[in-house]
Amino acid sequence: MTYVVKPKFHHPELPKNKLGYTHRDYEGAVSTLCAGCGHDSITASIIEACFELSIEPHRVAKISGIGCSSKTPTYFLGNSHGFNSVHGRMPSVLTGANLANRDLIYLGVSGDGDSASIGFGQFAHCMRRGVNMVYIVENNGVYGLTKGQFSATADRGSKSKRGVVNSDNAIDMVGIALQIGASFVARSFSGDKKQLTPLIKAAIEHQGAAFIDVISPCVAFNNHAGSTKSFDYVREHNEAVNFLDVITGRAPIHVDYAPGTVEMVEQHDGTILALRKLNAEYDVHDRQAAMSFLHHHAAKGQIVTGLLYVEQDPQDLHQHLNTVEAPLNTLGEKELCPGSAALEKINAALR
């Protein structure tokens, strides 16, 4: 870790967003992770995404579990709400918070240990219910805090730093998310912010369960030859299907891409996702095709990245449950106690 405080000085020409903030205003404390950790790049991408979307920091709730990844919310959005919860329990804590106040932007940050092992069930149910959130898994395939044992996302056949070969099958988080109904599914790589930052922006704008699996090399324990989550391996086997530009309603839309290579996807809130297709056949609206595409390429040892699936009219948990729109803490006695006449009516209906 670094002992000096990151200097407050910033570049005199730093751009400011609509709120008058620079991206430095979206930082948190200096990272205490190992130097070179992929997670720090994801942190930087989250900072950049929130800056570019001109999000007011106090409108964000960042919630995490336990692990290297779950430490990272300390390192971004120093002025947001935060909750560092129990191991694997980020989804249920976040679901509760979301039910109580749907006005906030919910950012769940987790890792492969937190979400694919101890919190696997939590992850699945949270996606299945369609909680309106951004679910980021910082996926390095090892337990970094306990010195590099394989995690549940480590590929079968990959080698640990000490040379042990992993004999267990890997859980593909993206595959599960697609299968159980996440309405926005993407995969990216911490070493490619150009791809990652727009994906995070799109996920924030997406009004439903958005899942991003970010492969994030563990420099200390999983960045060697034989690893399938090292910088070199991911760069060599990265099969990006598309790149994204997020166009928010505020900026005038002007597109200068070659015709036929770009698909414009309008999101529910008016945001437009401009998808630069690298693979012409790939259709981001076809869940089944996406799943088979992933399986097909995984078998070839390729790591498919990009926006893999997006539902154009997502529904979220609040719509399913028909909950009240106002945050619960703003409800007064009048709304919460409708009076004896109303109680009589309910009781009568149950007789």
Interface contacts to other proteins, rule CB under 8 A: 1-14, 24, 30-31, 34-38, 40-41, 43-44, 190-191, 193, 217, 219-220, 223, 231-232, 235
What single-letter amino acid sits at 175? G
Nearer to other proteins among residue 31 and residue 74 (C-beta): 31
Nearest to 158 by CA among 109, 212, 226: 226
Minimum Å gap between C-beta 72 and other proteins is 12
Q: Could you give the 3-state DSSP secondary structure of residue 298? A: helix
How far apart are alpha carbons 43 and 39 in whole angstroms? 6
Nearer to other proteins among residue 9 and residue 332 (C-beta): 9
- Check residue 150 and report its DSSP letter: E
Q: What are phi and psi of 228, to 5 degrees?
A: -105, 10
Minimum Å gap between C-beta 2 and other proteins is 5
Minimum Å gap between C-beta 61 and other proteins is 23
Q: What is the CA radius of gyration of the chain?
A: 21
Minimum Å gap between C-beta 65 and other proteins is 23
Nearer to other proteins among residue 36 and residue 157 (C-beta): 36
Nearer to other proteins among residue 276 and residue 318 (C-beta): 276
Minimum Å gap between C-beta 250 and other proteins is 22
Minimum Å gap between C-beta 191 and other proteins is 6
Nearer to other proteins among residue 40 and residue 155 (C-beta): 40
8 Å CB contact between 306 and 187 = yes
136-146 burial, b at 16+ Cβ within 10 Å, e below that, comes to bbbbbbbbbee
Distance of CA 215 to the CA centre of its chain: 12
Nearer to other proteins among residue 95 and residue 223 (C-beta): 223
Nearer to other proteins among residue 219 and residue 284 (C-beta): 219
How far apart are alpha carbons 148 and 141 in whole angstroms? 9
Minimum Å gap between C-beta 14 and other proteins is 6
Contacts of 26 (CB under 8 A, 6+ apart): 47, 50, 51, 57, 76, 77
Minimum Å gap between C-beta 176 and other proteins is 28
Neighbours of 98 (CB within 10 A): 24
Q: Could you give the 3-state DSSP secondary structure of residue 276? A: strand
Nearest to 161 by CA among 227, 115, 209, 91: 227
Nearer to other proteins among residue 122 and residue 190 (C-beta): 190
